[in-house]
Amino acid sequence: MTSQSTHGTTPQSTHRTSSDILVLGATGKTGRRLVARLRDKGGVHVRAASRSGEVTFDWTVPDTWEPALAGAGAVYLVAPEDPAPVGEFVRQATAWGAHRFVVLSGHGMEKADGGAFGLGMAAAEEAVRASGAEWTFLRANNFFQNFDEDLWLAPLRAGRLGLPIGDVPEPFIDADDVAAVAAAVLTEPGHAGRAYVLSGPRGLTFAEATRTIAEAAGRPIRYEELTPAAYRAELLAEGWPEAAADEIGSLFDMIRAGHLAEVTEDVRRVLGREPAELEPWAHRVAARGTWAA
């Protein structure tokens, strides 16, 4: 391992052994849950990295990469939307001693047609596969937590979720289950070279998921079917950048094509149990007032 870092310091200059687990996106939906699980397991040293995390890491600031990587033998890789820095990061990670990568990716990524969605994830899969290190891909469905932490929270609170989906079902998955799988894959043997497709236990249309959440919240929340053009127009009117609107539109293209509809057994294969159901989760979240008007 003689590759130079961007600072001109060789990996041999570090006094750390390559045994830590570096978790990127450590304040995100899966990352923060993974950090907690790994620390509960004990026996490993976890480096929780993000722009605002315990370890500073920023994809757009390469000077933050080396301090995060030094001593990391395994990396939980949550790629940025921009694929440009991913290959160089993986090269530096392997030079600094990373011998195992677990890549958070998306269900259906192998069927992606080059649209705007998932370019960073696709670049991460390609770079890690070519790196010579052990790798495992976690191709996950849309998370439950997109309904209460992120993308669809504000529309649900407003009482109307409008999307361009039709009646194509998706087996949404709890981010806790994704984190549990990632923790097992990072700390147990037998997962190298596998691409796990992580789905929930059954497919639900977005209309059905919205009804489940409305019933849990005890208030009217309606689902409205939109055309792709109408949905894009709404995103732009809400202030979304055009590139972001195109990316999410590309995701919904994949959903409408049925690329995310398959229910898989991979959560059970790794964890020995079934993945969580949406309805009990929705009732727990609703009890906190998350979807109150």
Looking at residue 73, which CATH number applies to its domain?
Answer: 3.40.50.720
Domain span at residue 235 reads 16-286
Q: What is the mean pLDDT of residues 90-116?
A: 89
pLDDT digits (tens, 9 = 90+) for 58-80: 999 999 999 999 999 999 999 99
Which tokens is 205 given? 């249309």
282: pLDDT strictly greater than 90: yes
Q: How confident is the model at residue 109 (pLDDT cuts 50, 70, 90)?
A: confident
Q: Say if 182 falls within a structural domain.
A: yes
263: pLDDT strictly greater than 60: yes
Which tokens is 204 given? 């639900």
Are 259 and 111 in contact by the 8 Å Cβ rule? The answer is yes
Q: What's the total number of domains in the chain?
A: 1
Q: Say if 212 falls within a structural domain.
A: yes
Q: Say if 113 falls within a structural domain.
A: yes
Helices (H), 79-158: 86-95, 119-129, 153-158
Task: State what percent of residues in the chain have pLDDT above 90.
Answer: 87
47: pLDDT strictly greater than 70: yes
H or E stretch including 161?
strand 160-163
Q: What is the mean pLDDT of the chain?
A: 92
Q: What is the pLDDT of residue 113?
A: 65
List 143's β-bridge partners, or say none: 173
Burial class (CB in 10 A: 0-12, 13-18, 19+), 137: buried
Q: Say if 244 falls within a structural domain.
A: yes
Q: Say if 282 falls within a structural domain.
A: yes
Q: What is the pLDDT of residue 114?
A: 61
Q: Say if 292 falls within a structural domain.
A: no
Helix axes 86-95, 119-129, angle to 10 degrees: 30
Helices (H), the chain: 31-41, 65-69, 86-95, 119-129, 153-158, 175-187, 206-217, 228-237, 242-256, 266-271, 278-286
Q: What is the mean pLDDT of residues 184-210?
A: 97
Q: Say if 277 falls within a structural domain.
A: yes
Q: Say if 8 falls within a structural domain.
A: no
Are 1 and 12 in contact by the 8 Å Cβ rule? The answer is yes
